[in-house]
Chains A and B, each alone.
Chain A
Amino acid sequence: MQLERPAVTLPGSAGSAPRTALHPKNAALKQRLLTAEHWLCIERARYTTEVWRQTEGLHPSLRAARALANVFEKMTLRLEPEELLVGNRASKPIAPPIAPERGDFTFVFRYLLEDLLAFGYRITPEDKAELLEELIPWWAGRTVRDAKVAALQAHHLDSPPNASPAELVRKLRAFGPRALGRLLTPRGGTSEPLLRRLPRLLGAIRAGASDNVKGRGRCTDTQAHIVPGHKNVLALGFSGIRAQAEARLARAGTDDERHFLEAVLLTCDAMRAFSRRFATLARAEAEGGCAAERRGELLELAQRCERVPWLPPRSFAEAVQALWFVQNAAIISYGAGSGITPGRVDQLLLPFYEADVAKGALDRAHALRLLEELVIKLNDNVVIWPNIGGVELNHLGSDVENLTIGGVDRQGADATNALSWLFIEAIENTNLATTASFRVSKKSPPEYVRRVVEMHRRTNSPAFLSDETAIATLRRDGYSLEDARDYCLVGCVEPSGNGDTFGATGGSKVYFPTALDLVFNRGRTTFFGNQDGPDTGDPRRFGSFDELLAAYFRQLEVMVAQVTEATRLRDAIWAERFHNPLISSTIDGCVERARDMTRGGARYNFGAVGGGGLGTAVDSLAAVRAFVFEQRAVSMDELLAALACNFRGHEALRLRLRAGPRFGVDDPHVDALAALVVARFCELVRAQPTVTGGHFKASLISYGLNVYEGALEPATPDGRFAGAPLSNSMSPSNGAETKGPTAALNSVSRIDQTAIGYGNSLNMRLPIGLVGSEKGQEAVAGLLRAYFGNGGFHVQFNTADAATLRAAQQRPQDFPDLIVRVSGYSAYFTRLGPSIQDDLIARAEVAL
C-alpha cells in the first residue's frame, strides 16, 4: 500500500470542488506520523497483567473492568503541541497497545522480536526484559490462544503438518524448494543467515500454525471487528450509560448480571477519570508558559476533556473529542489488531456541526481542521505482525478503522450532508492510507459520486458500497429495515449494524481452492498431508464433472463445519474469561440484558467465515470441466501428475490450462460456476449457529493477504504454480480481466451478492489514463451505477501505479490484462515497446 502520493493538478480539474490545503498544524502531525519511530510500548500489557495477577477467580466482566481502569489510571499520557484532540494509546506516538491476554502476538515477541527490531520497531532494554521475562511468562497457559489450541486439540480440529519422510518428499515435489524457501525468507528485514534464524522461525511457524483448523481453515484468536455504540455515548455520555446500568442493577436477577453491571459502572467511572487526566495535563501545559494562542487552545481542550465523554457533547469539537475518546479507549481495551470501527461519522457528528454553524460558533475551516486531525489519528494504528513470507503488514493504518460516509438515513432518505463533503476533503488533504467507505444509493446526489471518483486523483482508492445491495443483505440476516439502513462498514467491507451488533466480522476463513485439493487427494491437503476431510473417492474414476462438483461441495461442507466448530470453541473462551465491559456498555442491548457482548448481550449477534481464492477455484473447476470432461483433451491422471510436481516437465500442459476458461471475461458458463460456489458456500455458512445465539455470515474478502494465503496452496488446474498468490477477494484471478472492466463487472454481477452477509470486495484495476480526465471520471461513475444496478455490493477502483507498470515491464506474462486507454483505441501495456512503456511509467509517477 502506498502511503503518499504527490498531489498534482492535472488538466481538466477546472470546475471541480474548491481545494484546501492540509492545516499547517495537521501537516506537522502528519509529518510526525510518517517519520516517527515505531515503538513497542508495554504499558497496556503491564497494567493489565498487574490486575490479572491479583484477581484470580474474579468474575470476567469485573476483572476486565478493573484491568482497564488500571491501564487508564497509570498509562503515560501524551499531548502533542499541535493537537486539538487528545487521546493516545501508548507511551510513544506510534506504538500498538499490546494485549498479552489474547496471546496472538506472543509468538511474535518470543520468536520474531529480532525481526521486528530489524524492521524498525524499537523497545527499551528494560521493557524488553519485562515483556519477555515477566509478562509473557505469566500469561503462558492463560491466554485465549493457549485455551484455543487446547480446545482444538481436544476436539481433533488441529492439523499439525504431517512430517513423515514420504510426506516430506511429496510436499517438496508439489511445492518445489523455491516456494518453500519463500515462506522462510524475510523481506527488507534482517540479514541474519537463515540457518541461525531457522530455530526461531520454525518456532514462529509452529506458533503461527495454531490458527490452523484441519484442512487449511483458519480461526484467529480475536473477535472484535466491531462498531462501538458511538451514537449512545454522543447521546447519553457515560454518565447516562452509567445511570441505565444502575437502574438495571436494581433488578439484576443473577450474580452474572450483577457483576456485569457493576463492571459497567466501574468502566464508566474509569472513562471519566481517563478523560480528566487529559484535562489536568492540558491545564498544566497551559500554565507551563506557552504562547497565548496555544494557551487558549489548551484551556478549551481541558474544558472539553472535563465534560466528554462523561457528559453528552454540546458542540462539534466536544463531539469529535468524545468520538475519539471512545474509539481510542476501545482500541486500548482490545489491543492492536482489533478492527474497531468508528462507523457513520458524517451522520454521528452532523447534529453538533449544524447546531454550531447555526449559532455562528463554528466555521467550515475549523471543522475541517478537526476532521483532518481525526483522520490522521485514525491512521497511526499499526499492527504488530511478523515480517515473514515477504508480506509487510506492519505499515501505518493497517488496523483499519473504517469510516462510513454517505448513504440513506433510517427512514430511507438520502443522508449525504455537509460533513460527508468535509470528510472527503479531510481524507484528501491528509492523503494517508485512510480506509473510507462511501455508501451510494439510487438517491445519492450524482455530484457526490463524481466527487468521490475524483478522489482517485489525489489519494488512495475510496471504496464504494451499494446501499440497495447492503440493505437487502442485512434484511436477509434479520435486521429491521431502519437498522439495516443505518449500517456501517466494519474492517474492510463487512456491513454491520450501527452500535447494535456483536458481529466478530473477521478472523475465520477457508479457501475455495483447498476444497479442490482435498478432492484430488481424497481428503488430504497437499501441504498438511493429514486425513482432514472425508474421502470423496478416487478422482480418476469420476465419470462426469457433476460427480467432481458433488465431491467438491462435500469437502467444502466439512471445511465450513470444522471452521465454525473451531470458532465456537474460541468464542466460548472469550465468553467464559475475556469480557469487554467498555465496548459492551455502548452497544444496544448489553446493559438491558445485563450481559457482556461476548455472551450474547448485543441486540444482533453473528459470526463470520470468509472464503478466499474464489477466482482461482472457479478458474480451476472450469479448467477441469473444459479439458478433462468436455473436451477430454487431458486425462485426470495427467492433470493430477502435473499438479503433484508443480508442472515440472508439464509446461505445455500448464500453458494450455493458463489459456483456458476464466472468471471475469463475461463468460456465462464460467460465471454460473462462480455463482453456484458462492451460493452454496453462503448457505453452508448461514446454517451454522454462533455461541451468542446468532448465525454465521459469509464474506469474500482477502484483507490484502491473498499473496500470503497462496503460499500454502499447491499448483492448481488453472495453471497457477504452487505457492503463487490466490485471486483476491471476489475479484477475478490476476491477469484474467482481459476484456476490461465492464466484462469483469458483468461476470461478478452473476453472483447473488445479497447472500454474502459479510460482504465481498471487488478490486478493479482501471485502464491507465481513465481517471485523469473528467470524461473518464464520468465513465467510472457510470461503471459504478451500472454495477450497483446489477446487484453489485462493493467496488474499489485502482489505477496501476508506476511500480506495477515497472513490474509488468519486467514480467509481462503476469500482467496480460493491463490496459492502456487513449483516444481512439486501447492497447495492452505489455505489448507496447519499451520506450513507450517508459513514457507511461514516467507519467504514472506524477499522476494517476
Chain B
Amino acid sequence: MKGRVFDVQRCCVHDGPGIRTTVFLAGCPLRCAWCHNPEAFSGQTARSVEAREVLREVLEDRAFYEATGGGLTVSGGEPLLQAPFVVELCAGARAAGLHTCLQTSGAVDEAALRAVLEVVDLVQFDLKHLDPARHLALTGRGNEGVLANAALAASGARQVEFRVPIVPGLTDAAEDLARTAAFVRGLGVGALHLVPYQRTYLGKYAQLGLLARCEQVEPPSPAAMHAHAAEVERHGLAARIAG
C-alpha cells in the first residue's frame, strides 16, 4: 500500500540503536511550537510511495544495520496517522531481520498504536507536557489520548522510551519535569529521555515560507540539561540526555 513520505534519511544514529534509516511520514495532528519538521504538515515535499518501495531503499543499508544492531525508524510528522502503512513497512523490515523503531507523539487513536505495537521493537514516545491546558497551548491539542496511549505503550511495547523535549521556557519547568517523571514512574518505566531543543531546523521554515514560533528560543546549555537530568533522577528515574 502507499503512504505519504516526505523524506528518507540514511545513516541516522540518534533515532534508536545503531545505524538506521529514518522514514519521515507526512501529516500530523499537532502543531508544536518548536516543530523541527514543518514539512510534515506543509505537504510541499511529501510524495506518495509504496511501502515495498520504501522497504527496498531501507534494505540497501542492511550491512550497516547488521554491523551495529540498527534498522528502521519510522518518524514524522505523526506516523500513526498512516498506521496500516507503518504496519506493512515495519512488518516487512522485521521479517528481513531489522530492528524497528517508532517515534510517536501518541496523539492518535488507540487502535492505530495497538496495531503498530505488534511490529516494532522500540517505541520512542514523546511526552510534550503533562498539563492538558499547556499541552493544548503548546501543540494545539489536549493530551488525554496521549496519556492513555502512553500507558498502552508502557504495557504493550517490546521496549519503550519516553522522551521529553526540553524547550527552555516552554517545557523545562522543574515542576513540569517532576510531574512527567512521576507519571512515567507510575507506568513502571525506569528511565526518561531528555531531548534538548536545537535551532538547526529554523532554515526549513524560511525555505517553506512559514513562521517559526520558537525563533528566539536559545537551546538549553549542557549545564541546564544536567540540572534537568538531576531533577528527573531525584524522582527515582534514570535520566538520559539525547545527543
Q: Which A positions have Cβ atoms within 8 angstroms of B?
A: 11-12, 666, 739-743, 745-746, 767, 770, 772-773, 775-776, 778-779, 781-783, 785-787, 789-790, 820-827, 831-833, 836, 839-840
Whether A666 contacts B60 by the Cβ 8 Å rule is yes
Whether B201 contacts A825 by the Cβ 8 Å rule is yes
Closest chain B CB from A107 CB (angstroms): 46
Q: Given A11-B222, A739-B10, A836 and B199 touching (CB < 8 A)?
A: yes
Give every chain A residue within 8 A of B10 (Cβ-Cβ).
Answer: 739-740, 742-743
Closest chain B CB from A701 CB (angstroms): 25
Whether A839 contacts B199 by the Cβ 8 Å rule is yes
Ranked 4 nearest A-B pairs via Cβ:
A782-B68, A786-B67, A786-B63, A779-B13
A237 to B75, CA, bound (A): 65
A400 to B10, CA, bound (A): 35
Give every chain B residue within 8 A of A787 (Cβ-Cβ).
Answer: 63
Closest chain A CB from B124 CB (angstroms): 10
Whether A779 contacts B19 by the Cβ 8 Å rule is yes
Taking CB atoms and an 8 Å cut-off, the chain B residues in 192-234 that contact chain A are 195-196, 198-204, 206-207, 222
Whether B13 contacts A775 by the Cβ 8 Å rule is yes
Whether B14 contacts A775 by the Cβ 8 Å rule is yes
Closest chain B CB from A115 CB (angstroms): 43
Give every chain B residue within 8 A of A824 (Cβ-Cβ).
Answer: 14-15, 36, 75, 103, 195
Q: Closest B-chain residue to A828, C-beta based?
A: B203
Q: Point out the residue from A783, A827, A832 that lies within 8 Å of B64, measured CB to CB.
A: A783
Give every chain B residue within 8 A of A785 (Cβ-Cβ).
Answer: 67-68
Give every chain B residue within 8 A of A781 (Cβ-Cβ).
Answer: 68
A826 to B196, CA, bound (A): 15
A11 to B226, CA, bound (A): 11
Whether A822 contacts B66 by the Cβ 8 Å rule is no
Whether B67 contacts A820 by the Cβ 8 Å rule is no
Give every chain A residue within 8 A of B15 (Cβ-Cβ).
Answer: 824
Q: Given A778-B68, A836-B203, A790 and B63 touching (CB < 8 A)?
A: yes
Give every chain A residue within 8 A of B60 (Cβ-Cβ).
Answer: 666, 742-743, 746
A790 to B201, CA, bound (A): 35
Q: Given A789-B67, A822-B14, A827 and B206 touching (CB < 8 A)?
A: no
Tell yes or no: B37 within 8 A of A by CB: yes
Whether B18 contacts A779 by the Cβ 8 Å rule is yes
Closest chain A CB from B226 CB (angstroms): 9
Closest chain B CB from A805 CB (angstroms): 13
A760 to B57, CA, bound (A): 27
Known: A778-B13, A778-B68, A839-B199. 14 other contacts (CB 8 A): A742-B64, A745-B64, A746-B60, A782-B70, A789-B67, A821-B13, A823-B195, A824-B103, A827-B200, A831-B207, A833-B206, A836-B202, A836-B203, A840-B200
Q: Given A746-B60, A821-B12, A782 and B203 touching (CB < 8 A)?
A: no
Closest chain A CB from B191 CB (angstroms): 16
Give every chain B residue within 8 A of A742 (Cβ-Cβ).
Answer: 10-11, 19, 60-61, 64
A831 to B205, CA, bound (A): 11
Give every chain B residue within 8 A of A778 (Cβ-Cβ).
Answer: 13, 18, 68
Q: Point out the residue from B198, B204, B243 that lies within 8 Å of A775, measured CB to CB.
A: B243
A825 to B13, CA, bound (A): 9
Whether A821 contacts B68 by the Cβ 8 Å rule is no
- A selection of 7 A-B contacts at a CB cut-off of 8 Å is A776-B243, A779-B13, A779-B18, A779-B19, A823-B14, A824-B36, A832-B200
Give every chain B residue within 8 A of A773 (Cβ-Cβ).
Answer: 243
A767 to B84, CA, bound (A): 33
Closest chain B CB from A741 CB (angstroms): 5
Q: Closest A-chain residue to B39, C-beta based?
A: A825
Q: Closest A-chain residue to B15, C-beta based?
A: A824
Q: Point out the residue from A12, A825, A832 that lies within 8 Å of B36, measured CB to CB.
A: A825
**Residue in A11, A741, A787, A822 whose Cβ sees the most chain B Cβ within 10 Å:** A822
Whether A783 contacts B19 by the Cβ 8 Å rule is yes
Whether B19 contacts A822 by the Cβ 8 Å rule is no
Whether A782 contacts B64 by the Cβ 8 Å rule is yes
Give every chain A residue within 8 A of B199 (Cβ-Cβ).
Answer: 836, 839
Tell yes or no: B45 within 8 A of A by CB: no
Closest chain A CB from B228 CB (angstroms): 14
Chain B, 8-44, contact with A by CB distance < 8 Å: what is the 0/1 string?
0111111100110010100000000000110000000
A770 to B11, CA, bound (A): 10
A482 to B58, CA, bound (A): 40
Q: Which B positions have Cβ atoms within 8 angstroms of A?
A: 9-15, 18-19, 22, 24, 36-37, 60-61, 63-64, 66-68, 70, 75, 103, 195-196, 198-204, 206-207, 222, 242-243
A821 to B198, CA, bound (A): 11
A778 to B242, CA, bound (A): 15
Give every chain A residue within 8 A of B67 (Cβ-Cβ).
Answer: 782-783, 785-786, 789
Give every chain A residue within 8 A of B63 (Cβ-Cβ).
Answer: 746, 786-787, 789-790
Q: Closest A-chain residue to B14, C-beta based?
A: A823
A789 to B66, CA, bound (A): 10
Give every chain B residue within 8 A of A822 (Cβ-Cβ).
Answer: 14, 198, 200
Give every chain A residue within 8 A of B37 (Cβ-Cβ).
Answer: 825
Q: Point out the residue from A741, A782, A833 that lies within 8 Å of B18, measured CB to CB.
A: A782
Whether B9 contacts A740 by the Cβ 8 Å rule is yes
Give every chain B residue within 8 A of A767 (Cβ-Cβ).
Answer: 11
Q: Given A746-B60, A786-B66, A832 and B243 touching (CB < 8 A)?
A: no
A825 to B201, CA, bound (A): 9
Q: Closest B-chain residue to A769, C-beta based?
A: B243
Whether B19 contacts A823 by the Cβ 8 Å rule is no
Q: Closest A-chain residue to B205, C-beta based?
A: A833
Whether B204 contacts A746 by the Cβ 8 Å rule is no
Whether B196 contacts A823 by the Cβ 8 Å rule is yes
Q: Closest B-chain residue to A834, C-beta based?
A: B203
A820 to B200, CA, bound (A): 9
Whether B203 contacts A827 by the Cβ 8 Å rule is yes
Q: Closest B-chain residue to A784, C-beta based?
A: B67
Q: Point out the residue from A776, A779, A782, A823 that lies within 8 Å of B198, measured CB to CB.
A: A823
Whether A826 contacts B9 by the Cβ 8 Å rule is yes
Q: Closest A-chain residue to B22, C-beta based?
A: A825
Give every chain B residue within 8 A of A826 (Cβ-Cβ).
Answer: 9, 12
Closest chain B CB from A833 CB (angstroms): 4
Q: Closest B-chain residue to A773, C-beta based?
A: B243
Closest chain B CB from A834 CB (angstroms): 9
Closest chain B CB from A10 CB (angstroms): 10
Whether A776 contacts B11 by the Cβ 8 Å rule is no
A786 to B198, CA, bound (A): 31
Q: Closest A-chain residue to B21, C-beta based?
A: A742
A740 to B20, CA, bound (A): 12
A825 to B34, CA, bound (A): 14
Give every chain A residue within 8 A of B198 (Cβ-Cβ).
Answer: 822-823
Closest chain B CB from A440 CB (angstroms): 12
A666 to B8, CA, bound (A): 14
Give every chain A residue within 8 A of B206 (Cβ-Cβ).
Answer: 833
Q: Closest B-chain residue to A772, C-beta based?
A: B243
Closest chain B CB from A808 CB (angstroms): 13
**Residue in A782, A823, A836 whose Cβ sees the most chain B Cβ within 10 Å:** A823
Whether B18 contacts A831 by the Cβ 8 Å rule is no
A783 to B206, CA, bound (A): 34
A775 to B18, CA, bound (A): 8
Give every chain B residue within 8 A of A831 (Cβ-Cβ).
Answer: 203-204, 207
Give every chain A residue within 8 A of B18 (Cβ-Cβ).
Answer: 778-779, 782
A739 to B22, CA, bound (A): 12
A840 to B243, CA, bound (A): 15
Give every chain B residue within 8 A of A833 (Cβ-Cβ).
Answer: 202-203, 206
Give every chain A residue within 8 A of B242 (Cβ-Cβ).
Answer: 823
A782 to B9, CA, bound (A): 17
Q: Point out the residue from A11, A772, A825 that lies within 8 Å of B9, measured CB to CB.
A: A825
**Residue in A776, A782, A836 whose Cβ sees the most chain B Cβ within 10 Å:** A782
Give every chain B residue within 8 A of A745 (Cβ-Cβ).
Answer: 64
Q: Closest B-chain residue to A780, C-beta based?
A: B13
A515 to B9, CA, bound (A): 36
Q: Point out the residue from B11, B75, B202 that lies within 8 Å of A741, measured CB to CB.
A: B11
Give every chain A residue within 8 A of B61 (Cβ-Cβ).
Answer: 742-743, 746
Q: Closest A-chain residue to B7, C-beta based?
A: A825
